[in-house]
Chains A and B, each alone.
Chain A
């Protein structure tokens, strides 16, 4: 059997793939956080809860309405996005003139409420969500066995990340968003409806989190706790990447996911904390983050 650094190649590649999968979710979630933060100056603590809502929406749609994975992949983000837009319009928008910490505290409360409600209704244990038939099974790449669904997640998340990046960097809507990030008052004076833009941004961010949630449903169990488990790691990712750049958030997400996977191979005990350790090191060496501009 081929060995690499004293580890069987199979195990090495297997963990690398798991790292890549985790990295895909970190990338999608930190991307959403960065987009929301860029415009709203709010750290969306409820991002994890919205990710969990996406997974639950997919599961409940299947259970009660027989809506399959493919439709759920489109419908769940829309539902959660609308919910997010509603929250932004009715409550979050009242906090923009205050210290940004209030936005963090508000969304923290929102996350607790959502998580608590789902725990009350569905218990804390995870429930399975079947891999769609079209993506079931795996393929032998010669050097390793690749479950098709996992390959699909990596590809789709890349597409979603690049798509969002293109939306922000290359479209008219994106140019409004970027302009409003720099100077909302001026953009409003030019006749752009900034409040609607803010609502839209929060909705899109929440929708993106839900999209990641639907993708995650067949891999991890659908559980009310899945959001809070991931959100703290994503915060660390965001700190490492610095929220100044969208691309930075994406790249850091994948990098740290892979770093976590590799740690599982070489020193499993530290795999839970490696991302936090990297965060601390980055802060000591480059306080603004790898891609950040000094705030």
Chain B
């Protein structure tokens, strides 16, 4: 699995001063851009982008930092969307509790799917997650509460903490942004925690991690549940943004899409998936008006990425001359 991803990041202390500088500059610029973005772009588009960016980062937590390729992440994203939409619409939950329900639901689904799937490795893991996620798709197709082909429609956004009106798109945007940032901080903390370090060691050399006495299966399951919960966070918020939850979110194509976003942006880089998600969402938006099917482009981009840029955009940038000059680690 080790050649799927890049070498682990160096401990923070060893990082050069230029790198910290560059990180700080990039981070600040990014934050300012995100805060000002609604002045320039259509808020729904931005919110969609943030949701998918968080989804892709959650997915990357598993692929990039643990080395597990899940082909079933639509289950957590779409499942959480259904849970959130259901409790908000039918039970009158406030938005924050609704999203929380989505997260908890996704984590539970992740626990079940992970428990079954971690019994096999590599390619089998991918196939098992795909099959289980297809099972969940059929469940959603037939279950009562998902409303079948129609999906759960016109979900109210409600008032955050009882007083912030989320039907206002500016309020909603800053809510989504806050969730996105919280999600990113959680991911960042997670991969730099001792737990995250053990995950990386499993990715690099599973046998050795086992021989050091780590219960590899338990760590993998932990990472799987974490990734599922964060994907659920993205899905739950997405249900509030679009005010509906449908079968599209749980279909296997969605699992493929999130893989593409991560691959395109850079597997195993913290911010790569954000860019990957941005590109894919922009492309879909752009093509939505034409009758040319997105699938063809998605498929071709997949093939090109796998053949030519396996490091992804951000990975290639880090490895490029400019990237190295700016102090990023030179990766394979």
Chain A residues whose CB sits within 8 angstroms of the CB of B212 once the complex forms = none
With contacts A95-B306, A99-B3, A113-B299 known, is A284 near B119, CB below 8 A?
A: yes
A102 to B3, CA, bound (A): 10
Question: A260 CB to closest chain B CB, in angstroms?
Answer: 12
Q: Check if B134 is an interface residue, CB within 8 A of chain A.
A: yes
Q: Is the CB of B299 within 8 A of A110?
A: yes
Identify B303's interface contact among A91, A116, A120, A235, CB under 8 A. A91
A98 to B134, CA, bound (A): 28
Question: B164 CB to closest chain A CB, in angstroms?
Answer: 40
A116 to B291, CA, bound (A): 12
Question: B26 CB to closest chain A CB, in angstroms?
Answer: 28
Considering only CB atoms, which chain A residue lies closest to B5 in the complex? A99
Identify B121's interface contact among A37, A233, A284, A295, CB under 8 A. A295
> Interface on chain A toward B: helix, strand, loop, or mixed SS?
helix
A28 to B225, CA, bound (A): 36
Contact flags (1/0) for A91-130 with B, using CB distance below 8 Å?
1001100111110111011111111110110000000000
Question: B56 CB to closest chain A CB, in angstroms?
Answer: 15
Question: B87 CB to closest chain A CB, in angstroms?
Answer: 25
Question: B293 CB to closest chain A CB, in angstroms?
Answer: 5
Q: Is the CB of B295 within 8 A of A112?
A: yes
Chain A residues whose CB sits within 8 angstroms of the CB of B252 once the complex forms = 228, 232
- Which of B77-85, B123-131, B146-154 lies at the interface with chain A? B123-131
Q: Check if A176 is an interface residue, CB within 8 A of chain B.
A: no
Q: Is the CB of A276 within 8 A of B306?
A: no
Chain B residues whose CB sits within 8 angstroms of the CB of A236 once the complex forms = 127, 131
A238 to B122, CA, bound (A): 14
Chain A residues whose CB sits within 8 angstroms of the CB of B131 once the complex forms = 232-233, 235-236, 239, 275-276, 279
Question: B202 CB to closest chain A CB, in angstroms?
Answer: 15
Question: A96 CB to closest chain B CB, in angstroms?
Answer: 12
Q: Check if B120 is an interface residue, CB within 8 A of chain A.
A: yes
A32 to B297, CA, bound (A): 27
A287 to B69, CA, bound (A): 18
Q: Check if A167 is an interface residue, CB within 8 A of chain B.
A: no
Q: Is the CB of A109 within 8 A of B130?
A: no
Identify B256's interface contact among A37, A100, A108, A269, CB under 8 A. A108
Identify A106's interface contact among B119, B128, B141, B302, CB under 8 A. B302
Q: Is the CB of A112 within 8 A of B134?
A: no
With contacts A273-B138, A280-B132 known, is A102 near B310, CB below 8 A?
A: yes
With contacts A232-B134, A235-B131 known, is A269 near B302, CB below 8 A?
A: no
Q: Is the CB of B302 within 8 A of A105?
A: yes
Contact flags (1/0) for B288-332 with A, using CB distance below 8 Å?
000011111111111101110010000000000000000000000
Of B4, B138, B295, chain A has the most CB atoms within 10 Å of the CB of B295
Q: Check if A186 is an interface residue, CB within 8 A of chain B.
A: no
Chain A residues whose CB sits within 8 angstroms of the CB of B298 once the complex forms = 109, 112, 116
Q: Check if A144 is an interface residue, CB within 8 A of chain B.
A: no
With contacts A102-B310, A280-B116 known, is A108 near B128, CB below 8 A?
A: no
Considering only CB atoms, which chain A residue lies closest to B295 in the complex? A116
Chain B residues whose CB sits within 8 angstroms of the CB of A287 once the complex forms = 119-120
Q: Is the CB of A273 within 8 A of B292?
A: no
Tell me which residues from 107 to 165 in chain B have a Cβ below 8 Å from any Cβ of chain A: 116-117, 119-124, 126-128, 130-132, 134-135, 138-139, 141-142
Q: Is the CB of A109 within 8 A of B300?
A: yes
Having A101-B69, A116-B299, A233-B134, one finds 8 other A-B pairs with CB under 8 Å, namely A105-B302, A108-B259, A109-B302, A113-B296, A116-B296, A232-B252, A272-B142, A283-B116
CB within 8 Å of B: which residues of A?
Answer: 37, 43, 91, 94-95, 98-102, 104-106, 108-117, 119-120, 228, 232-233, 235-236, 238-239, 269, 272-273, 275-277, 279-280, 283-284, 287, 295
CB within 8 Å of A: which residues of B?
Answer: 1, 3-4, 69, 116-117, 119-124, 126-128, 130-132, 134-135, 138-139, 141-142, 252, 256, 259, 263, 292-303, 305-307, 310
State the 4 A-B residue pairs at the shortest beta-carbon distance, nearest first. A109-B302, A112-B299, A116-B295, A113-B299
